[in-house]
A and B are shown apart, each in its own frame.
Chain A
Amino acid sequence: AQKVTQAQTEISVVEKEDVTLDCVYETRDTTYYLFWYKQPPSGELVFLIRRNSFDEQNEISGRYSWNFQKSTSSFNFTITASQVVDSAVYFCASLEGSGYSTLTFGKGTMLLVSP
């Protein structure tokens, strides 16, 4: 069975600060996928990134970066120079490799960025 833990329930920062959202996952499958989603107040889930278990390369997209480390079963998300528009709930999720598998979500981290 899969499990995703987001230990940080809520984080508050001031604009332009860097912030890291933690995600720890558990899975018995050797092939799996990890995701980050953003949920703004409107409620829609916005897909941010997907990583495959066989690709530990870190990724940067603008102010966003992701650090995937299999040795610690972590997939952390860093926002550099945060902005008020980054305020949202962020979910980490995992999916095992089978076509029958389902997405398992963490409980989410609410990020509040104040001006």
Chain B
Amino acid sequence: DVKVTQSSRYLVKRTGEKVFLECVQDMDHENMFWYRQDPGLGLRLIYFSYDVKMKEKGDIPEGYSVSREKKERFSLILESASTNQTSMYLCASRVHTPGMPEAFFGQGTRLTVV
């Protein structure tokens, strides 16, 4: 069974902390994505990656960075967490091949910054 696993379901952090959200996939997918979901705003793309050590900015990259040192792992980093980063974060992966559009999502991480 294919799997995208996010390290935490729930996370509470303090303002100013450095926060790491980890995502691991076991399907050997090239493409990995981080989305943020807020009520009434849908899912918005933060960053994505097509390959190891490659990253591309999505629609809302400000305040975030990412790391992809290994193909199976894509980390989202909040350098200095702020309360407006309280949100649901979803990781996804898919193959790079055109014509194979299925994306697989992790279970989500609900982050609260206090």
Contacts and interface: CB of A to CB of B under 8 A. Distances in A.
Interface of A: 6, 9, 31, 33, 43-45, 47, 50, 91, 93, 95, 97-100, 102-108
What interface size band does chain B fall in?
Answer: 20 to 34
A99 B33 contact: no
Contacts of A31: 98
8 contacts: A43-B9, A43-B108, A45-B108, A99-B96, A102-B33, A102-B58, A103-B43, A105-B35
B101 A91 contact: no
A44 B108 contact: yes
A102 B58 CA distance: 9
Interface in B34-83: 35, 40-45, 48, 50, 58
Nearest to B43: A105
A104 B102 CA distance: 13
A91 B103 contact: no
A6 B88 CA distance: 20
Contacts of A50: 101-102
Nearest to A10: B40
Contact of A98 (B41, B98, B107, B110): B98
